[in-house]
Amino acid sequence: MQRPLGRFMAAVCFMLVLLTLTGQASAQVVLKAQPVDEEKAPVVKPVEQVRQDLNASWQTQREARALTLSVPAPRGQIVDRHGIPFAQNRAANYLALVMPYMDGASEAQITTFAKSTIDKVNSVLGKTWSLSEERVLLHYKHRRWLPLVFSVEEGLNVEITPEMEEKLKPLLGNSLVIQPAYLRHYPQGATACHIIGYTGKTRPLPTGPIVDGDAVFEEMEGREGIETAFDSDLKGQAGIVNVLFSPDGKRLSEDVRRTPSPGRNVVLSIDYHFQKYAENALKKHTTGGAMVIMDVTNGDILAMASNPGFDLNEFVPGIRAKRYEELTKDPHLPLFPRSFRGEYPPASTFKIVTALGALDSGKVDAKTYFDCPNALEIGNRVFKNWNKEGEGSMTVVTAIKRSCNTWFYRAALESGADYISNMAMRLGFGERTGIPLKAEGEGFVQTNPWTIQHLGGKMQSGDLANMAIGQGRVLATPLQVCQCMAGLGDGMRIPQPRLVLQIQDMADRVVMAYEPKDRRRIDLNPDHRQTVINGMVAVVNGSGGTGHSAAIKQAEIAGKTGTAQWKPTKDQNLAWFTGFLPAGKPMFAFAVVYEGEPGEDISGGKKAAPIVREVFTNIFEKAPADDPMLLAMKDVPKAEVVEEEVVTIPVENVPQAMPPPPPPKKGIGGFFKRLFGR
């Protein structure tokens, strides 16, 4: 870890607890109905003495009560790796009705009393708050010792502002009190919203007879993200208080049996600044997209951004139905965490996997030339290159730099499906990374065993050609693509993606640490790895590379562009850019996906690569001069850009370039169904 949370925030949380238990604030908590006039106040005796005094008349005076109540604990904080808070607590005040004991009163008298009190408030504040007669009568019968909150709109408690409280001062007293409670607060608003998640009521407050352990105000539990994944750590331990009431319903004494113990703090691997730079760039450049940044050395997820997002504070204390409907029906899906749940065709970023698999097969090496025509006929289908002009014969380095589809069709067919799919699985595709967030996307990689089981035979050449360029039956999340790049950057192992560094108690003691660990060994052939990296360096820095717009002055980036056919019925495509930096000594792996709008002309080089440039430029330019990141990169030598000559004479046994195929017929034919699987 990095930096302790600081005892100041611990003190703030503890003071929130004391609001409900001691001092002047306790006169406004649910356990005390009103401020007490000192001249008229009864002498408050010790609990045991009062119990003795009441014992003789206990059987005949049913309104005397001794209650054992639960005081919910404030939740722990969620902070970034440097202690910057994403989730905290604050105190909120609500208006509550206090029901006095009315001996022999009719139901009409009871409800009239409640309505009269609430109407006075409405008159002062211009509100229309109300309680149903049934709710009033149930509360009077079973729970009148406790205040009843009525500042409610659309089923959600409404806070009383200081200005409102000032206006209500003349009314506060016997029948009207301010009731405090804890509320979750997200100081960064929408930043990291899909990671942090939000809370909701554990259960509504009961309306029946009071039983031991009833909470004095509503408890909250995690519903999404880290809030739910670490709910047991965050929620703390509730306090217990015994409260004694006299026969006429006045509180005589309270005995704190156990002080609320605040929840533990969750320290994330996320760097707030990295996350913010990524989110800002996505907002600027996309209507839908994601970016993930990982530390190659230990697997720490430094940013995991999805755009669009939403303000977490809209879910405090709960979200209004109309607003929730707007979010769920928004066509850009702001509630959807694209970075780790979105499953996309990885497009040409998958060519890195194809290249490694082909080299691993031994049937392709760094000097193997394949022709790169504008199209190839494979079986009874025509597979096109993105470039309408033939580019001659080239090796893997130039094929990566130019992202030549037809070269990779050829390399995959020479190698065979098993080498390509096995390399994909080896690099983490087709399985969840294991981050502690629910519903992480699994992705998919077609293999021969799967094809035999589900389609009755091995992969066809057309299926393999599609997969070679990251289309067809292959899907991946941005987190998986980034993980693959971390593995390639290291070469020996894939680090386990780490989202949580540790759990701390309120005294800053580490009670649980999640140490870096390897997800698996991959032990890439050093020569094969370097050959592929040479191609990725050329993508950004070589002449004719497809990713020039990702280049930054502070470090050399090794990258790969990608453009995927995504939703063909809507003419909607994806753009990718992924890789690592510095190329000579990889420190950060990254992946960006850009969701194109229907009909938008996009490519990885034009749309995704500029996002990478903007984010890492901000990271380097805004970091302090003594930042360990900058110092570690200071002496990293630049990789040599390999510029290979493209051979114009076709090599033996390589299919020749052919004219583009005729326009497809209207509708989605069998080829496209097989291509997209949707």
DSSP characters for 491-542? SSEEEPPB-EEEEE-TTS-EEEE----EEEE----HHHHHHHHHHHHHHHHS
Hey, what's the torsion of the CAs at 381, 385, 387, 388, to 10 degrees?
Answer: -10
pLDDT of residue 570: 86
CB 594 within 8 A of CB 575: yes
Point out the least confidently predicted range of 84-88, 234-238, 379-383, 490-494. 379-383
Pick the CATH number of 272-314+336-498+518-676 from 3.40.50.720, 1.10.230.10, 3.30.465.10, 3.40.710.10: 3.40.710.10
| Mean predicted confidence (pLDDT) in 307-319 | 96
Please state, in angstroms and as integers, the Cα–Cα distance from residue 93 to each residue in 17, 87, 170, 285, 587, following that order.
Answer: 14, 19, 17, 41, 48
More confident residue, 19 or 440: 440
Residue 381, classed as helix, strand or coil, is strand
pLDDT of residue 104: 87
Pick the CATH number of 7-21+64-268 from 3.40.50.1110, 3.90.1310.10, 3.40.50.720, 3.40.50.1000: 3.90.1310.10
pLDDT of residue 637: 67
pLDDT of residue 59: 35
State CA 504 to chain mean position distance. Answer: 21
pLDDT at 599 > cutoff 80: yes
Mean pLDDT for all residues in the chain: 86
pLDDT at 292 > cutoff 80: yes
pLDDT of residue 33: 28
Point out the least confidently predicted range of 20-24, 40-44, 46-50, 209-213. 20-24
With cut-offs at 50, 70 and 90, classify the pLDDT of residue 636.
confident
273 vs 587: CA distance, rounded Å: 17
pLDDT of residue 671: 33
622 vs 75: CA distance, rounded Å: 33
pLDDT at 528 > cutoff 90: yes
| Mean predicted confidence (pLDDT) in 162-177 | 93
Q: What is the DSSP string of 636-648?
A: PPPPPPP-PPPB-
pLDDT of residue 271: 97
Domain ranges of the chain: 7-21+64-268, 272-314+336-498+518-676
436 burial class (0-12, 13-18, 19+ CB within 10 angstroms)? middle
Phi, psi of 158 (to 5 degrees): -105, 130
Can you name the residues that pair with 261 across neighbouring β-strands? Answer: 237
Q: Is the pTM of this model over 0.75?
A: yes
Please give the share of the chain, as a percent, with pLDDT higher than 90: 72
Tens digit of pLDDT for each residue in 96-133? Answer: 998 888 888 999 999 999 999 999 999 999 999 999 99
311 vs 402: CA distance, rounded Å: 41
pLDDT at 457 > cutoff 70: yes
Q: Radius of gyration of the chain from Cα atoms?
A: 32
494 vs 13: CA distance, rounded Å: 39
Tell me the longest C-alpha to C-alpha distance in the chain.
111
364 vs 395: CA distance, rounded Å: 9
Contacts of 149 (CB under 8 A, 6+ apart): 94, 95, 96, 97, 157, 179
pLDDT of residue 632: 78
Point out the least confidently predicted range of 8-12, 279-283, 493-497. 8-12
pLDDT at 5 > cutoff 60: no
pLDDT of residue 628: 80
Q: At what angle do helices 133-143 and 107-125 cross, to 10 degrees?
A: 110
